[in-house]
Amino acid sequence: MLCCSSLKTSIKAKMKMLPNGCSYSEFNIVPANWNTSRASIKKTWYMEYYFHDPAFKDRYPNGFPVRRKGGINRVKDLDSRQQLMQQLCDLQRDLLENQGYNPITKTMLEAEVPDAEPTLPPAPAPIHYPVDDRTLSTHKYLESLNGLIPDVDTPLIPALWLGLKRKVYAPKAVNDIGSIIRGVEDAARALQLDQLKISELKRRHLVLILEKCAELNPKWSDNRRNMYKAYLSGIIKPLLTLECLENNPTAGIDKVDVVRPPREKPTWEERKKIGDHLKERDYRFWRFVQMFFHSGARETELIEVKDTDVDLENQTVWVTVRKRKGSPVRTRKPIKTIALPIWQEVLQECNAVRAKHPGTPVNLFGRLLKPGILSDRSTIRPDQVGRRWKKYVKGDLGIEKDLYSLKHLNTEEMMDALSKETSIEQAEKEVADIMSHTSEKMLQQVYDQKNAERKNWRAAAVSNPFC
């Protein structure tokens, strides 16, 4: 205790004399940053000083070392612990300066007194987190957590939910992460780690949980593992900000290299079959597919479009991009001339709805893909688009191509057309902007599967003779 010689020298130089002839050093508080927001409640807090009594100078030539904790380390709230530390220091100073307390003899005006400690506040009531019985959607369950703040003692699974609540993701991503947390919960429970405090979460725990997920989930793959790791890393970051744990345990967990086969796209014959079949079976869905194919937007972005977002005269539409990091971004996309008649038709139907609800924006795609008002709960859920594609295209026609492959298809065809009028690099910039990408990298590596072929043909056309 207080054995550092440099500390002793510093403290002895700052002694304060008392009326009874004794003296004491300035208080040394550990941690040194105890009164800042960066102070850690995981460390042991205490205050210490040296007390000099001339009657005991032979026995304690360097002063009698005093250390007080006062029970403050039982308090797990930073603000409360800081208040108690201040009370402890004030109490010790009052005992020494005003009441003649001698920590060597433990006397105060000739009366025996026990070591004084500040009165502790009552222990906080345990927090009861709503049970996720999986009858609620991810969004509804997150609403049940309103007002709850995670701390070092929050169990693993509630902490992950509260981390998700503090992040901004697109609605579809929120649903995906909710499924991931539930998968992690199943694995953690099987490993008896579901009640682990978030502050005790280590990398090895996550590695074991991911391995158990692979055993429990028949759809597990290397790509799914990478997705689990990436999303867990994201929802743990708000917990780091709140000092629920010291570091992100996902760091150091390697990403598995995944070789992704090129996405299969409908052939021209299949496109003709799909178009004819959808136009006959579900005209509004056919209309949506046409608009999606030509827009360069994601399904979720197109579903959110309102009539006030559309400018038919200038052939543009505003969409809200939610996939980028940070807050959603509004961006303007062109409406292709080939698709303009369909947009005009949908806007005419929107005008009919608006006539019944003056001054209220109309969603282009509500229930049954009809224009509707958000307040009427008439907007369609994004998953209903995929269900229709599965029913009409994969089910009726047996064509095992995804709806999203149309975005890849349109990208390639736009690149083919624009690269004939300008350089490939300039075409990439224009198409990436239409797709709301911040760079051409995603287009080159994912969406434009003919990118390498196109550049190879350009290189093959170079005529540079050897001699």
Q: pLDDT for 212-264, tens place per residue? A: 999 999 999 999 999 999 999 999 999 998 889 989 999 989 999 887 777 88
Residue 121 has pLDDT above 70, yes or no: no
- The size of the chain, in residues, is 467
CA angle 434, 435, 438 (to 5 degrees): 95
| Residues 399, 411 within the same domain | no
User: Per-residue pLDDT averaged across 436-441, rounded?
Assistant: 77
| Residues 319, 436 within the same domain | no
Question: What tokens were used for 135?
Answer: 């009858």
Amino acid (1-letter code) at residue 162: L
pLDDT digits (tens, 9 = 90+) for 156-171: 999 999 999 998 887 7
Contact 65, 57 (CB under 8 A): no
pLDDT value, residue 290:
96
Contact 108, 94 (CB under 8 A): no
What is the percentage of the chain residues whose pLDDT exceeds 90?
Answer: 43
| Residues 380, 445 within the same domain | no
| Residues 163, 281 within the same domain | no
User: Per-residue pLDDT averaged across 20-41, rounded?
Assistant: 90
d(CA 316, CA 163): 37
* 368 domain residue, yes or no: yes
* 153 domain residue, yes or no: yes
| Residues 145, 106 within the same domain | no
Asked whether the whole model's pTM tops 0.75, one would answer: no
User: Per-residue pLDDT averaged across 292-318, rounded?
Assistant: 93
Cis peptide before 31 (omega within 30 of 0): yes
Residue 405 has pLDDT above 60, yes or no: yes
pLDDT value, residue 364:
94
Residue 109 has pLDDT above 80, yes or no: no
Window from 118-127, 143-152, 426-435 with minimum mean pLDDT: 118-127
The last residue of one of the domains, among 360, 386, 403, is 403
pLDDT value, residue 122:
66
d(CA 379, CA 361): 12
| Residues 426, 372 within the same domain | no
| CATH, residue 304 | 1.10.443.10
pLDDT digits (tens, 9 = 90+) for 333-371: 999 999 999 999 999 999 999 998 888 899 999 888 999
| Residues 89, 161 within the same domain | no
pLDDT value, residue 123:
57
The last residue of one of the domains, among 198, 226, 241, is 241
d(CA 343, CA 256): 43
pLDDT value, residue 1:
44
Mean pLDDT, rounded, of the chain: 86
pLDDT value, residue 17:
87
pLDDT value, residue 431:
83
d(CA 343, CA 366): 15
Residue 100 has pLDDT above 70, yes or no: yes
What is the percentage of the chain residues whose pLDDT exceeds 70?
Answer: 91
pLDDT value, residue 124:
62
Question: What tokens were used for 85?
Answer: 């530390």
| Residues 287, 225 within the same domain | no
- With cut-offs at 50, 70 and 90, classify the pLDDT of residue 6: very low
pLDDT value, residue 388:
94
| Residues 277, 382 within the same domain | yes
DSSP 443: I
Residue 60 has pLDDT above 70, yes or no: yes
| Residues 142, 210 within the same domain | yes
d(CA 85, CA 45): 8
* 233 domain residue, yes or no: yes
Short-list 448, 403, 407, CA closest to 428: 448
| 45 dihedral zone (left: phi>0; alpha: psi -120 to 50; beta) | beta
Residue 111 has pLDDT above 50, yes or no: no
DSSP 38: T
Instruction: List the domain range (segments joined by +) for residue 83.
Output: 5-112
Helix (H) or strand (E) holding 66: strand 64-68
- Residue that is written with structure tokens 């049940």 in the block: 144
Per-residue buried b or exposed e for 104-137, using 16+ beta carbons within 10 Å of the residue's own CB: beeebeeeeeeebebeeeeeeeeeebeebeeeee
Window from 22-26, 281-285, 297-301, 433-437 with minimum mean pLDDT: 433-437
* 11 domain residue, yes or no: yes
DSSP string, 284-344: HHHHHHHHHHHH---HHHHHT-BGGGEETTTTEEEEEE-SSSSS-EEEEEEPPGGGHHHHH
Contact 170, 323 (CB under 8 A): yes
Per the structure, the count of domains in the chain is 4
Q: Report in angstroms the alpha-carbon separations of 395 from 20, 144, 277, 383.
A: 95, 38, 12, 16
pLDDT value, residue 460:
84
pLDDT value, residue 379:
58
| Residues 272, 399 within the same domain | yes
Residue 84 has pLDDT above 60, yes or no: yes
d(CA 366, CA 49): 71
* 259 domain residue, yes or no: no
pLDDT digits (tens, 9 = 90+) for 274-286: 999 999 999 999 9
| Residues 274, 394 within the same domain | yes
Per-residue buried b or exposed e for 14-31, using 16+ beta carbons within 10 Å of the residue's own CB: ebeebeeebbbbeebbeb
> The sheet that has 111-112: what strands, in order across it?
101-102, 107-108, 111-112
Determine the number of helices (DSSP H) and then strands (DSSP E) in the chain. 16, 11
pLDDT value, residue 155:
94
* 316 domain residue, yes or no: yes
Question: What tokens were used for 115?
Answer: 């070591």
Residue 457 CA to its chain's centroid (Å):
43
* 252 domain residue, yes or no: no
* 171 domain residue, yes or no: yes
Tell me which of 43 and 340 has the higher pLDDT: 340
